[in-house]
Structures are given as C-alpha cells and as structure tokens.
Amino acid sequence: MPTHPRPAALPSRLPDLHALQSAFARRSLLRGAGAVGAVGALSACGSDDAGGGGDGEATTLGSRFGDEVPRAAEDAVIAAFTEASGIEVTPNVQDNETFQESINSYLQGNPDDVFTWFAGFRGRFFDDQGLVGDLTDVWTDIEDGFTPAFKEASSNGDKQILVPVLNYPWAVFYRKSLFEENGYTVPETRDDLIALCEQVQADGLVPFAFGDADGWPAMGTFDILNMRLNGYDFHISLMAGDEDWDGDEVRAVFEEWATLLPFHQEDPVGRTWQDAAASLLQKESAMYILGMFVGEQFPEGEERDDLDFFTFPALDDEIGNGALDAPIDGYMMVADPQDEAAAKDFLRFLGSKEAGELFLAENPNNIAAHLEADTSGYSALQQKAAELIGSAENIAQFLDRDTRPDFASTIVIPALQKFLQDPEDIDGVLTDLQAGKERLFVEEG
C-alpha cells in the first residue's frame, strides 16, 4: 500500500466553528429552560423526548475508517463537534473489511452508540432485525439538506434510520497523461473498449488493474456488467432475491466477464484494491473499475489531478449506459444506545453541511451528500462525479448494499472469487449462487 502525504485542509471550506459553538451553547440553555422546540434545528436536539440512558455529555462511535485519509477526515469531524458542543465522542476504529465482516456480531453484542454504515437494503436489513435506532426525529431537523432520493435511501418505510454524509460513483478510472502519451481515447462502445484493451496490451501494459483480496471489489464489475446487459430493474430484482441466479441473464454476465478477464491483472484474489490502485498510479495499468475512493491512493497534487474516469460503455443499445453504482455512506444509531441524547446530537451534526465540508476538506475523494455543502473547492474530478450522479438514469448502491449482508458475504464473495480463479467453471458458480439464494431468501426468509 503506497504512502502519501495527508491532504491539506481547505480553509475556505471549513465551517465557522464559532457559530457552531454559539448554536450548541444556545441549545443547552434552552434545554435547561424547558424551551426545546421553540427555535430552529439545534434547539430541537436534546434529551427531552429521547429514550435510553446517559446525560447527553458523551457518546461512542464504531468506525470502519481505519485507513489514513478517511481516518483524518472523521477525526476532524469529531474534533469540530466536540469543540462546538462540549460532547465527547470516543471512536472505536477498525479497518473497513474487519468492521463489515463482523457487523452482525458487533450489533448483537455491545456496540457503540453510533456506527458507520450504508444506505439502502444493507441498512434496512438491520432495522428489520431491531438492531438500529429510529432517527426520524433527527431527520426532522436535517431534512432540508437532502434530496428526496437521499431520504428514501436512508429510510425503511416511513422511518429514517441513517444520516447520509458522502457519496461517490463507481466508474472506469484512468490517468489522463497515460492516455495522452499513448494516444488512447475513451471508449464509447464495447468494440472501442476491446480495441483499447488490445492496444494497451500491445504496448506492454495491463489494460485493467484488479485486486479482490477483500472480496468486495469484484462486486463492482459484476454490478456494472449486470446493469449493462440486463438493465437496472433486473439487477435490483436479482439483489432482492426475486430472480434466479442460474438463469440465462446472470450466465450472460459471467460469460462477458470471462471475455474481459484476460485484460485484467492476473491473480486478483491475491491482491488488495490498494495494490491494484498502485499499478494505476505507477502507469503499469491503464484503467481500473472502482469507486472514486481510488484517489485516496494518489498523492495530492499533480498525480491526483491526473485522475479521470468514464462510465462503462453500453453492452446493449436498448439498455444503454445510464445506470451506475453510487453508494451513499453515512451513520446509524444502535437500537439501545448508552447515551441517546448525545448520540442524536452527534448525528445531527453529521447531517450538517459543516460536517460534509470537513469530511471533504480532509478526504476530497467523494462528494458531499448535503445540498448546501460548499462545492466551490471541488476538484475537476469531484465536479464530474457530481454531474455524473446528477444525470444518471438509475443509481444502485452496490451489490453488498443492495442485497442481504449474509448473502453478499457468505455466498457472493466466495462465488465471485471461485469464478476469478477458474472462469471456465461458470456452471459451478451459478449453482453455488442459486443454492445460496434459495437457502437464505426462500428457506430462511
């Protein structure tokens, strides 16, 4: 994993901490006077109608942001919140993969009050099990900052369960200078893409960087091929367990993938996504299908500014290329927090434009979820990402967010890695996927 300097903060985009301090001070006074609800959003915060214990002075956070860049961003948000509110936040940090793999046991054990998680099906799954808290009252205060689509993605029915902070697109990333030096052009069709891959190989480079040691990166390739070949509606229906995984549609996805796989780095199961990103950075690979967080592996400045992307071309003219993955990252509260008042105050802050700006100041490899966040400091890549997401015909969250967590982790990851190690055994992969779908979606419900 390459190391690089922590990106410098962008002072012009940082929130006015004095204003935040004043707001929280006013909230505390009003809470004490029994006047909560008489003024705006911050005045609605507090413990008057909150369940759970605690005195509203401290909360805990379970975080998957163990990597350097997102860790710095979350630490900056925590520091700003504590400075403004006086409420202490104790983070419990793990690496991303460990956090996600242990989430079931974590939530059923002794979890922290607030935890990092995802919008969509993957959040609703835990709400359906009674493991997460109701944030509908928090959303009453923050709703004006988000589009209806973000609210829907953060809800389970009429109940809000997640506070969104960031999102980002999955696309095909490349270095502009490498394309310019070699005369490569962005492919607009499948034939263009194949021709480009053949030219890249002839030039002694690897067309696609690829690392799937963590299991989830290959899901991005599956998602885009499935949406390009079978359409967004089929993809979402498949994720919900309403389609067969051993049918002709999914078979076509793996057959197309088997055709493209020789253009990827070999042995992806033994390589992390960070090491694959390093090959893109070092111009050993020409392209990489990944989320915009690939920029975390590029040093700030000339090399990060060299990063660009295009959407995967259409594979069926009737379906087109208007669908993409654009996951929403956010925070949830556990069902029985130690200090619900403090947890909800922290979540309201996380749902503010100031929190979004702080995240992006430290980690400019996403775009802000909040409508009023200052985008004047966006890089060209961030602006392009915002335009892409804004113009997308359909937006999926990501395979492991659009389906059951247990199906994604115990069935899909082994099946995809089995395919990557033996792409000729498509029948075996489809059989495993269908058997897993029937067991988890049909037999266990």
Q: φ and ψ at 206, to 5 degrees? A: -95, 125
Q: In this predicted structure, which of 78-92, 98-112, 223-237, 263-277 has the lowest mean pLDDT?
A: 98-112
Q: Which amino acid, residue 375? A: T
Average pLDDT on 275-292 reads: 98
Assessment of whether the complete model's pTM goes beyond 0.85: no
Q: Over pLDDT 70: what percentage of the chain? A: 88
Question: For the CA atoms of 423, 406, 105, 343, what is the dihedral angle to 10 degrees?
Answer: 110
pLDDT for 101 equals 80
Say yes or no to pLDDT of 52 above 80.
no
Tokens of 87: 């409420």
pLDDT at 14: 39
Does pLDDT of 39 surpass 80? Answer: no
Long-range contacts (CB closer than 8 Å, 24 or more residues apart) made by 417-424: 417/212, 417/215, 417/218, 417/269, 419/254, 419/257, 420/212, 420/218, 420/261, 420/268, 420/269, 421/269, 423/254, 423/257, 423/258, 423/261, 424/258
Q: Given a cut of 50, is residue 344 above it in pLDDT?
A: yes
pLDDT single digits (tens) 157-208? 999 999 999 989 999 999 999 999 999 999 999 999 999 999 999 999 999 9
CA–CA separation, 67 and 283 (whole Å)? 23
CA distance 273 to 291: 10
The answer on pLDDT for 372 being more than 60 is yes
pLDDT at 36 over 50: no
Please report where in the chains the tokens 């979402």 appear, as a residue: 236
> Does residue 306 have a pLDDT over 60?
yes
- E strand or H helix that includes residue 427: helix 426-437
Band (49; pLDDT cuts 50, 70, 90): very low
User: Is it the case that residue 76 has pLDDT exceeding 80?
Assistant: yes
46 pLDDT more than 80: no
For residue 444, what pLDDT is reported?
66
CA triple 37-335-404, angle to 5 deg? 125
Q: Rounded to 5 degrees, what are φ and ψ at 434? A: -65, -40
Average pLDDT in the 241-251 region? 97
Are the C-beta atoms of residues 142 and 348 closer than 8 Å to each other?
yes
| Helix, strand, coil % over all residues of the chain, rounded to 5 | 50, 15, 35
pLDDT for 335 = 97
43 Cβ contact partners less than 8 Å away, ≥ 6 residues apart: 26, 27, 30, 35, 36, 37
Which of 10-24, 45-59, 179-193, 291-305 has the weakest average pLDDT?
Answer: 10-24
Q: At what angle do helices 413-421 and 217-230 cross, to 10 degrees?
A: 90
Handedness of CA 324, 329, 330, 334 (dihedral sign): positive
Please check the confidence at residue 51 and state whether its pLDDT lies above 50: no
Tell me what the mean pLDDT of segment 86-102 comes to. 91
Question: Is the CB of residue 388 less than 8 Å from the CB of residue 171?
Answer: yes
Say whether pLDDT at 60 is over 70: yes
Residue 317 has pLDDT above 80, yes or no: yes
Q: How many residues does the chain have?
A: 445
C-beta of residue 225 within 8 angstroms of C-beta of residue 255:
no
Average pLDDT, the chain: 87
Q: Which residue has the higher pLDDT, 27 or 330?
A: 330
Q: Decide if pLDDT at 5 tops 50.
A: no
Instruction: With a cut of 60, say whether residue 11 has pLDDT above it.
Output: no
Q: Averaged over 128-137, what is the pLDDT?
A: 96
Rounded to whole angstroms, how far apart are CA atoms 280 and 277? 5
Per-residue pLDDT, 31 = 36
Q: Which residue has the higher pLDDT, 44 or 18?
A: 18
In whole angstroms, give the CA distance from residue 216 to residue 408: 9
What would the DSSP string read from start to end of 156-183? Answer: ETTEE--EEEEE--EEEEEEHHHHHHHT
The beta strand positions in 122-162, using DSSP E, are 155-156, 159-160
